[in-house]
Amino acid sequence: MFRINPPRKQKTHPRVDVLLLATVALLSLFGLIMVYDSSVVQAFKDYGDKYFYIKQQLLWIILGFICLIFFSVFDITRIKKLSGLLFIISCILIIAVFIPGLGSTGGGAHRWLRLFGFTIQPTEIIKMTTVVFLAYFFEKKVDAKPFFIITLAVTFILGIFQKDLGSAIVYFLIALSMYFAAGGPMSHFLALVPLTIVGFISFVFTSAYRKQRILAFLDPFADPQGFSYHISQVLIALGSGGWFGLGLGQSRQKFEYIPEVTTDSIFAVIGEELGFMGALTLIALFGYLIYRGYKITENAPDRFSKLLAFGITSWLGLQTVINLAAMVSLIPLTGVPLPFISYGGSALLVNLSAIGILLNISKKTDKLKT
């Protein structure tokens, strides 16, 4: 007897969020171009090799995408089990920067650590380990007391001892956003408002350098050869760009006028060379990246994955907004790098690893990613 067999059920293969991956790849490639562009003068002057910074950044991008691939296939449940250990190790690292022979200082700040011939910034590492740890910590319940003790302790170390107020603010906001997403009572946030204001004022007025940052924010051209030099040069660069910029490679401000031109202030060169439209395109790419991250959060299969995806997306979003806001003088200069764009190995490795985790979570849902 003739019979038509029922069609075999096709095996479904998990698919990563290709649009998120493409956006990150595009941002990283653009960052590589801008690192070379903004660093040519400084690299030739300091090292006699105009390709010095781009060679370093290219190496970090390759290593970063290896980390991205690794975390995109690594078992999420193992990440959860290791979260406590990873957080403890990162706490040890941010304290180790004060150990003579291991820690490295710059501009009066203790932010870097020399290990095995490499210089790393533990602040970038603890951002990701905190997101993973808090996702695990809040998975079952929201416990306010240990959360605030841990968060305030790390924020205090970063802001007071490491003298890195920008990273301290980013860290504090990341932790608070996760506490809010986990269901923290609104009364706690209301109570934090006066405490946060008092804490910020204390941070500022215990340092002459921070007071000058506030004065420069209030009037960017108050002392263009002194305390407001940095922000005034950034604004000159952005203003010089006009609508469509001076052209790629044509920046004048990169000739050692702008401090930290390859790291925290790289957006100034982007605005100068590509103009308002180029800067707006970059901002749109970041906006789309954050949108993809929150779509993954929405479709994540369990509470841990949702909190983890939310934390990573909020961290990258907050850091982007704070860097860009500082560059256009909406807030005081903070010393926070622009994700995927600024020069720096630690931040790039950690950011790409975080994207790998997001891609991993995106495979856990079969919902249409639009």
pLDDT tens-digit profile of 48-69?
999 999 999 999 999 999 999 9
Q: Please say whether the beta carbons of 343 and 121 come within 8 A.
A: no
pLDDT score recorded for residue 5 = 39
CA 98 from centroid of its chain's CA atoms: 23
For 181-209, write each residue's pLDDT tens digit: 999 888 888 888 888 888 778 777 777 77
Residue pair 180/314 in contact by the 8 Å Cβ criterion: no
* Cα torsion angle, 76, 339, 199, 97, sign: positive
Q: ∠ at Cα 264 (173, 233), nearest 5°?
A: 125
Closest CA to 342 of 289, 244, 264, 276: 264
Classify 119 as helix, strand or coil: strand
pTM metric for this prediction = 0.91
b/e 233-260 (16+ beta carbons within 10 angstroms → b): bbbbbbebbeeebbeeeebebbeebbeb
DSSP state of 330: S
Cα 140 off chain centre by = 27
Which tens digit of pLDDT belongs to each residue from 118-138? 788 899 999 999 999 999 999
Tell me the pLDDT tens digit for each residue of 102-111: 877 665 566 7
Please list, in sequence order, all residues whose beta carbon lies within 8 angstroms of the beta carbon of residue 197, skipping any fewer than 6 positions away: none
- pLDDT value at residue 62: 96
Between CA 40 and CA 69 the distance in angstroms is 31
pLDDT in tens, 72-118: 999 888 999 999 999 999 999 999 888 877 877 665 566 778 877 77
Cα 340 from Cα 350, distance rounded (Å):
10
Instruction: Say if CB 39 and CB 53 are below 8 A apart.
Output: yes
DSSP state of 367: S
Any idea what DSSP says for residue 317? H
